Chain A
């Protein structure tokens, strides 16, 4: 491994996110209104259009997890009566709130002026904002996003969501902002969204190269940062993804493997597809268990929870509300099990993966349900080795390093033995 050198894109992203948190910390003085909302099905373009500042509680929770703060936060939430089985993102958020609501950068987060509940596949979101509504005593506007039960988006579904946007969500946001939505500007924003999305897809698909120049899971979670949070539809995001793409192009030209915390990974021994979110509290340790064995994640479903772009969808400036509806309904969390299986099967084949792994998160019922079925079905369809590990999002108590390492090593050796036989 060579010495780690921070990529320019990484520095840029850091500056962008730090800038956003700085803006949030001064929201009161600057008179900016604040909207709490979720990553899957986020309506960032609408918020930015109206000068509203988004806060994403899942991002705060995972960032706090990476900084080792969620153990205490969860303890505080449990003391307040939230049981051990409750989603640990929720408990980390509640605990953070009760500890002074200092954001991941240590700056205070403003209270919400509105809770924008865009429900996409995760039932917990509803309960989460019920709790926040009680804590902050602020209004909630809900966007109900129909589940893709039949694996397709019908015209009625699209109309249903677009109508809610026009009749309920946008009026509520306009009321808060004290001004009307600028549709001409929205079209420009959506064009920028599409531009950044194309570059993101290009970066993620670069993992089809051998060796892969990126890790599409551990690196991927950084790559999706700007577009999944508050920068979709901005020039900043477009510039970031262009820069990232240029860096990846350079890595391909030089035949380099992915960047890891310990420098460039030299030998690609295993190409793996991963389903499920990563563990955030031991993120580095978890990552090391992969790159230490020469395993590269070439595709992951988690990097699609805030928007699924590699099946062709791009935000369409010509149909602003309908395209936002399609975006919300297309998020990975809103797909049914057969579609999730089809997508993973496609990844395994198109990315020439040696196998696939599921990281099942105990406290996330809506995402983890059915994962064993996914495992069996993918084994049957692809003939490649499936592995199953269990951890948690941000509860450090549920990351058993020895156990997970043991399973991962066994899994990689199983892949190797199977490869040797064939």
Chain B
């Protein structure tokens, strides 16, 4: 299969999308950007190719081995579990090596025993998450393993083990190399291991698996976008601005799009596009990430909850609170101040969501206003409270609007980039 790859290196997450020669999306991959864009791009890209192979696999399993979509989904979950356990093993190896250092001269045995107990707990949790029996705060190894590790470390410390800080320090020091290492096992090996966990397979499944794993996926061309795009080893003409990629991506998802709002980790973009998805005008926040995705990230950290829990919390608000400051740096102080004033958490969080939407409205006005249809993209598009506030504020200012939000809107830039890659390969010239 010929593949065209788009990679969006964002400040918070790195996304990769693969389209085939019909322009159909066949694979998606996402990872946290860390401080290493090179690794992030590699991980997201590998995940997108894995995802594309699962796309092929799902069809082949259904047609050739009579396995339904639920089977493929279970296989995919077990595949992810295999990857997780591989990373966890590497984390354990790093921690064990670390325990040999002088730092643990006095409590090496106690720490080693505590680590075993904690990681056993993390393994149990992972099985529950990937079997669909528990909710995950995030899809990323650092978040998933970290949350579980902290929970078990707290318990070990409470029960007389080493101090909590000391246990968490061990994790913090060793998670970074783990994130920067890649899985050593190939797709086929991981898949067969996942199949072993899935069980109840029809005859012929293993043959299909091996054939799909061995099929060629040819990367014809790739286009990079996002803040880290200059890190990509692509020729200059294959590096595209995220403004253009988001404009085209939004058009591809919703062809009627004329105005796009993207709220990403460190910037907010208001983009106007024509009927072909070509950008005609845009505005971005300047010099300051006030009111961007990181703002919500800080608030979630301040409240010690997951980013994805903010939206549902805000939806429980009963009073409208007006918050003017969207300064990311002051977000925590603003939150604490309001709490001290006796305001409810739900109401404050709802007010914060509304504040970032009001700031985005100012950028939209500067870019030329909102025209129908209006497409909301970026990580914040996943947040229901932000979507609700946007709907209210946009209709107050611009009347009835059709607001599009795709469930995979976080991939908008990467979709645009992959399509630019497809177009440039077709025309033999730079992507337009």
Give me the interface of A with B, judged by CB distance under 8 Å: 372, 376, 379, 385-386, 388, 390, 398, 400, 402-403, 406-407, 409-410, 413-414, 416-418, 420-421
A-B contact pairs, 5 of them (CB 8 A): A406-B242, A414-B278, A417-B244, A421-B274, A421-B432
Measured between beta carbons, the chain A residues less than 8 angstroms from B287 are 390, 398, 400, 403
| Residue in contact with A403 in the complex, picked from B281, B284, B366, B432, CB distance below 8 Å | B284
Q: Is B283 in contact with A406, judged by CB distance below 8 angstroms?
A: no
Measured between beta carbons, the chain A residues less than 8 angstroms from B244 are 410, 413-414, 417
Measured between beta carbons, the chain A residues less than 8 angstroms from B279 are 410, 414, 417
Give the complex CA separation of A371 and B90 in angstroms: 56
Contact pattern, B 279-291, Cβ under 8 Å of A = 1, otherwise 0: 1111110110000
Nearest Cβ on chain A to B237's Cβ, whole angstroms: 10
B227 CB-CB contact with A under 8 Å: yes
Give the complex CA separation of A417 and B368 in angstroms: 19
- A392, closest chain B residue (CB): B287
Measured between beta carbons, the chain A residues less than 8 angstroms from B152 are none
Give the complex CA separation of A372 and B283 in angstroms: 11
Give the complex CA separation of A307 and B274 in angstroms: 39
Q: Is B280 in contact with A418, judged by CB distance below 8 angstroms?
A: yes
| Residue in contact with A418 in the complex, picked from B278, B282, B368, CB distance below 8 Å | B278
Give the complex CA separation of A420 and B274 in angstroms: 13
Q: Is A406 in contact with B286, judged by CB distance below 8 angstroms?
A: no
Q: Is A410 in contact with B368, judged by CB distance below 8 angstroms?
A: no
Measured between beta carbons, the chain A residues less than 8 angstroms from B280 are 379, 385, 414, 418
Per CB-CB distance, the 10 closest pairs between chain A and chain B, nearest first, are A410-B241, A410-B243, A420-B432, A390-B286, A400-B287, A414-B279, A417-B278, A413-B241, A417-B432, A409-B241
Q: Is A403 in contact with B286, judged by CB distance below 8 angstroms?
A: yes
Q: Given contacts A398-B287, A413-B240, A414-B244, are A386 and B276 in contact (CB under 8 A)?
A: no
| Residue in contact with B276 in the complex, picked from A398, A410, A421, CB distance below 8 Å | A421
Give the complex CA separation of A185 and B145 in angstroms: 85
| Most chain B CB within a 10 A radius of its CB, from A402, A413, A420, A421 | A413
Q: For chain B residues 274-319, which have a beta carbon within 8 Å of chain A?
A: 274, 276, 278-284, 286-287
Nearest Cβ on chain A to B330's Cβ, whole angstroms: 16
Q: Is A410 in contact with B286, judged by CB distance below 8 angstroms?
A: no
Measured between beta carbons, the chain B residues less than 8 angstroms from A402 are 227
Q: Is A406 in contact with B227, judged by CB distance below 8 angstroms?
A: yes
Give the complex CA separation of A418 and B286 in angstroms: 24
Q: Is B366 in contact with A372, judged by CB distance below 8 angstroms?
A: yes
Measured between beta carbons, the chain A residues less than 8 angstroms from B432 are 416-417, 420-421
Given contacts A409-B241, A416-B432, 9 further A-B contacts (CB under 8 A): A386-B281, A388-B366, A402-B227, A403-B286, A403-B287, A406-B227, A410-B244, A414-B278, A414-B279
Measured between beta carbons, the chain B residues less than 8 angstroms from A421 are 274, 276, 278, 432
Give the complex CA separation of A407 and B242 in angstroms: 10
Query: Is chain A's binding surface mostly helix, strand, loop or mixed?
Result: helix
- A405, closest chain B residue (CB): B230
- B243, closest chain A residue (CB): A410
Nearest Cβ on chain A to B424's Cβ, whole angstroms: 12
Nearest Cβ on chain B to A340's Cβ, whole angstroms: 18
Give the complex CA separation of A211 and B194 in angstroms: 62
Measured between beta carbons, the chain B residues less than 8 angstroms from A400 are 286-287
- B287, closest chain A residue (CB): A400
Nearest Cβ on chain A to B384's Cβ, whole angstroms: 29
Measured between beta carbons, the chain A residues less than 8 angstroms from B242 are 406, 410
Measured between beta carbons, the chain B residues less than 8 angstroms from A407 are 284
- A407, closest chain B residue (CB): B284
Q: Is B281 in contact with A379, judged by CB distance below 8 angstroms?
A: yes
Measured between beta carbons, the chain B residues less than 8 angstroms from A403 are 284, 286-287
| Residue in contact with B283 in the complex, picked from A388, A413, A414, A418, CB distance below 8 Å | A388
Contact pattern, B 215-245, Cβ under 8 Å of A = 1, otherwise 0: 0000000000001000000000000111110
Give the complex CA separation of A387 and B97 in angstroms: 54
- A386, closest chain B residue (CB): B281
Q: Is A406 in contact with B241, judged by CB distance below 8 angstroms?
A: yes
Q: For chain B residues 360-376, which have a beta carbon within 8 Å of chain A?
A: 366, 368
Measured between beta carbons, the chain B residues less than 8 angstroms from A398 are 287
- B269, closest chain A residue (CB): A410
Contact pattern, B 337-374, Cβ under 8 Å of A = 1, otherwise 0: 00000000000000000000000000000101000000
Nearest Cβ on chain A to B70's Cβ, whole angstroms: 43
Give the complex CA separation of A385 and B367 in angstroms: 12
- B248, closest chain A residue (CB): A417
Give the complex CA separation of A406 and B413 in angstroms: 15
Give the complex CA separation of A414 and B279 in angstroms: 6
Give the complex CA separation of A46 and B417 in angstroms: 61
Measured between beta carbons, the chain B residues less than 8 angstroms from A386 are 281
Measured between beta carbons, the chain A residues less than 8 angstroms from B368 are 376
Give the complex CA separation of A413 and B246 in angstroms: 13
Measured between beta carbons, the chain A residues less than 8 angstroms from B243 are 410, 413-414
Nearest Cβ on chain B to A419's Cβ, whole angstroms: 9
Give the complex CA separation of A385 and B368 in angstroms: 13
Measured between beta carbons, the chain B residues less than 8 angstroms from A420 are 432
Q: Is A410 in contact with B278, judged by CB distance below 8 angstroms?
A: no
- B366, closest chain A residue (CB): A372
Give the complex CA separation of A421 and B275 in angstroms: 11
Give the complex CA separation of A407 and B227 in angstroms: 11
Nearest Cβ on chain B to A417's Cβ, whole angstroms: 5
- A415, closest chain B residue (CB): B279
Give the complex CA separation of A416 and B236 in angstroms: 14
Give the complex CA separation of A398 and B286 in angstroms: 10
Give the complex CA separation of A388 and B271 in angstroms: 13
Measured between beta carbons, the chain B residues less than 8 angstroms from A376 are 368
Measured between beta carbons, the chain B residues less than 8 angstroms from A417 are 244, 278-279, 432
Give the complex CA separation of A400 and B274 in angstroms: 29
Give the complex CA separation of A410 and B284 in angstroms: 11
Give the complex CA separation of A390 and B284 in angstroms: 10
Nearest Cβ on chain B to A272's Cβ, whole angstroms: 16
- B282, closest chain A residue (CB): A410
Give the complex CA separation of A388 and B283 in angstroms: 7
Measured between beta carbons, the chain A residues less than 8 angstroms from B284 are 403, 406-407
Give the complex CA separation of A185 and B382 in angstroms: 74
Give the complex CA separation of A386 and B279 in angstroms: 11
| Most chain B CB within a 10 A radius of its CB, from A398, A400, A407 | A407
Measured between beta carbons, the chain B residues less than 8 angstroms from A385 are 280-281
- A421, closest chain B residue (CB): B278
Nearest Cβ on chain B to A284's Cβ, whole angstroms: 19
Measured between beta carbons, the chain B residues less than 8 angstroms from A409 are 241
- A397, closest chain B residue (CB): B287
- A383, closest chain B residue (CB): B280
Nearest Cβ on chain A to B131's Cβ, whole angstroms: 43
Nearest Cβ on chain A to B413's Cβ, whole angstroms: 12
Give the complex CA separation of A420 and B286 in angstroms: 29
Give the complex CA separation of A376 and B369 in angstroms: 11
Give the complex CA separation of A400 and B283 in angstroms: 15
Nearest Cβ on chain B to A211's Cβ, whole angstroms: 20
Nearest Cβ on chain A to B363's Cβ, whole angstroms: 11
Nearest Cβ on chain B to A412's Cβ, whole angstroms: 8
Nearest Cβ on chain A to B48's Cβ, whole angstroms: 24
| Residue in contact with B282 in the complex, picked from A390, A414, A416, CB distance below 8 Å | A414
Nearest Cβ on chain A to B68's Cβ, whole angstroms: 43
- B285, closest chain A residue (CB): A403
Measured between beta carbons, the chain A residues less than 8 angstroms from B281 are 379, 385-386
Nearest Cβ on chain A to B419's Cβ, whole angstroms: 13
Give the complex CA separation of A376 and B280 in angstroms: 11
